Amino acid sequence: MARTKKRTQPGAAASDQVKEGKQMITLAIVTAAVLLTAFLAGAIAATIVLLRAGIVREESDKTLMGRPRTRASAVTRRIVDLRTQPIR
C-alpha cells in the first residue's frame, strides 16, 4: 500500500501558524487575568484579616475609647473610620 501525501493549498501552513499564535496569545491573556484576580483576592482577604485582628485586640484590651497606642492601631481605626470621643 503506497503512502500518499496530503495535498494542501499553498499558505495553509502559515494560516495554521497564525491560528496557533492567536490561541497562545489568548491563553496568555486569560492566564494573566486569572493570576491577577487571584492575587488581588488574596491581598484583599489578607487586609481584612489583619484589620479584624487589630479590632479584636483593641476590644480585648478595652482601649477603643482612648487614643490608639500604636501606629497599627491608628491605621486600623482610620481605615475602618472609627472615631471615638473621650468620655467626659
What is the domain partition of the chain in residue ranges? 22-79
What is the CB-side half-sphere exposure of residue 33 using CA atoms within 13 A?
Answer: 6
pTM strictly above 0.85: no
Span 44-48, average pLDDT: 92
21-30 pLDDT per residue, tens: 888 999 999 9
What is each CA distance from 41 to 36, 37, 47, 48, in whole angstroms?
9, 6, 10, 11
Q: Is the pLDDT of residue 86 over 80?
A: no
